[in-house]
């Protein structure tokens, strides 16, 4: 395959997200302007100007009309996907790290970093249908994580919130009462900071990537460990193919050590693993820095990766990818 290279960002990529139909690709980077691209040919559709700090995360509503972004400028913003206008700004006391729309787009979960003695927190906001009615109050605030919360997502039927972060513990919260329901085991859980979390298409399980050089597959209801994928570099990004039983791990050595070694030694490939057999299928090379973000097109026929090198690489699979046998 010949990947499409998108050089719209000046700074390292932080997050990638496809909309539901898979025709738009949203990219967030440390350069303040989230960008939307056409996912088939990589043409830039537009940018969302207004943030004043690195943008860590984004999510798009099911109808592809609203975009929510979380930024290090201590705000999370709602945007109109079509024309890039700001609809609303949520202000926090510390940088916003992760955002996720609930099923039905009526709620959003936003996590904030620990900052100036403030502990990290998970905020739940109600999203109004009409931006004019939008309120800034949090419906619920969850505290309990030590250090940054890398990602928080909605569980099945919006009944739970799953969060994971620097303290390497995955937590499941009740989204109504805010009660902590489950915690991942010290024995089976990650040993170092969790960097990414990604739900499966049907929402029955999720995969987490960690700096302990592994990715783990969990049951979303019971929080039981199902599979572990071991690699030889810290995992910054994980994603799952919606079509095949494949898990993709992206990572690489620490960005501060990149200039000191050859790019081959950095292990900057996206590694494909068989979801069930936990065996490596292959690697896709190309980035000159660690991979920070990975996303699969909902049709499962292409995926994109965003790196510390500022490039988004959009890969459309060759036909023989679909009949790989282990």
> Least distance from C-beta 163 to another protein, angstroms?
31
Which residues, 6 or more positions from 149, have their beta carbon under 8 angstroms from its beta carbon?
A: 97, 98, 111, 112, 113, 120, 121, 122, 163, 164, 165, 166
- Binding residue (CB under 8 A) for another protein from 10, 52, 63, 157: 63
Let me know: does 123 contact 110? Beta carbons within 8 Å.
Answer: yes
Under the criterion CB under 8 A, does residue 255 sit at the interface with another protein?
no
Q: Are strands 160-165 and 138-143 parallel, antiparallel or unpaired?
A: unpaired
Which residues, 6 or more positions from 252, have their beta carbon under 8 angstroms from its beta carbon?
A: 233, 234, 236, 258, 266, 267, 268, 287, 289, 290, 291, 308
- Binding residue (CB under 8 A) for another protein from 10, 49, 190, 307: 49
> Least distance from C-beta 26 to another protein, angstroms?
12
The piece of 52-60, 94-102, 237-245, 316-324 that touches another protein (CB under 8 A) is 316-324
Under the criterion CB under 8 A, does residue 101 sit at the interface with another protein?
no
> Least distance from C-beta 44 to another protein, angstroms?
5
Site size toward another protein, by CB under 8 A: 45
Instruction: Report how far residue 118's alpha carbon sits from residue 56's, in angstroms, rounded to the nearest whole number.
Output: 19
Structure tokens at 276: 């069930």
Under the criterion CB under 8 A, does residue 119 sit at the interface with another protein?
no
> Least distance from C-beta 20 to another protein, angstroms?
9
Instruction: Report how far residue 97's alpha carbon sits from residue 69's, in angstroms, rounded to the nearest whole number.
Output: 9
Which residues, 6 or more positions from 121, have their beta carbon under 8 angstroms from its beta carbon?
A: 111, 112, 141, 142, 143, 149
Let me know: does 210 contact 164? Beta carbons within 8 Å.
Answer: no
Under the criterion CB under 8 A, does residue 229 sit at the interface with another protein?
no
The piece of 31-39, 156-164, 197-205, 216-224 that touches another protein (CB under 8 A) is 31-39
Buried b (16+ CB within 10 A) or exposed e, 168-184: bbbbbbebeebeebeeb
> Least distance from C-beta 302 to another protein, angstroms?
11
- Binding residue (CB under 8 A) for another protein from 105, 174, 274, 280: 280
Under the criterion CB under 8 A, does residue 272 sit at the interface with another protein?
yes
Under the criterion CB under 8 A, does residue 45 sit at the interface with another protein?
yes
Q: Phi, psi (5° rounding) for residue 319?
A: -60, -30
Structure tokens at 54: 């690195």
Which C-beta is closer to another protein: that of 44 or that of 179? 44
Under the criterion CB under 8 A, does residue 322 sit at the interface with another protein?
no
- Binding residue (CB under 8 A) for another protein from 143, 179, 282, 322: 282
Which residues contribute to the site for another protein (CB under 8 A)? 1-8, 21, 23-24, 33, 35, 37-38, 40-49, 63-64, 82-84, 269, 272, 280-286, 313, 315, 317-318, 321, 324
């Amino acid at each position: 395959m010949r990947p499409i290279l998108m050089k719209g960002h000046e700074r390292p990529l932080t997050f990638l997200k496809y909309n539901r139909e898979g025709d738009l690709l949203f990219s967030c980077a440390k350069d303040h302007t989230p960008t939307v691209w056409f996912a088939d040919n990589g043409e830039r559709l537009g940018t969302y100007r207004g943030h004043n700090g690195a943008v860590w995360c984004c999510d798009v509503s099911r109808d592809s009309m609203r975009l929510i972004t979380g930024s290090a400028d201590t705000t999370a913003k709602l945007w109109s996907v079509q024309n890039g206008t700001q609809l609303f700004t949520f202000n926090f006391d510390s940088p916003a790290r992760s955002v996720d729309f609930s099923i039905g787009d009526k709620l959003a979960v936003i996590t904030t970093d620990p900052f100036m003695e403030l502990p990290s927190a998970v905020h739940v906001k109600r999203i109004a249908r009409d931006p004019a009615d939008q309120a800034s109050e949090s419906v619920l605030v969850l505290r309990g994580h030590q250090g940054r919360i890398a990602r928080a997502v909605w569980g099945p039927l919006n009944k739970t919130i799953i969060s994971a972060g620097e303290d390497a513990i995955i937590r499941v919260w009740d989204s109504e009462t805010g009660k902590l329901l489950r915690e991942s085991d010290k024995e089976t859980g990650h040993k170092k900071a969790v960097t990414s979390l990604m739900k499966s298409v049907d929402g029955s399980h999720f995969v987490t990537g960690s700096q302990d050089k592994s990715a783990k597959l969990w049951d979303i209801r019971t929080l039981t460990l199902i599979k572990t994928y071991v690699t030889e570099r810290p995992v910054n990004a994980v994603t799952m193919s919606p079509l095949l039983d494949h898990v993709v791990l992206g990572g690489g050595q620490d960005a501060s050590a990149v200039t000191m070694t050859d790019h081959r030694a950095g292990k900057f490939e996206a590694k494909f693993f068989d979801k069930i057999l936990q065996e490596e299928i292959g690697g896709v090379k190309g980035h000159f820095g660690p991979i920070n973000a990975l996303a699969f097109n909902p049709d499962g026929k292409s995926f994109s990766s965003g790196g510390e090198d500022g490039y988004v690489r959009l890969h459309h699979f060759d036909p023989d990818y679909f009949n790989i046998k282990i």
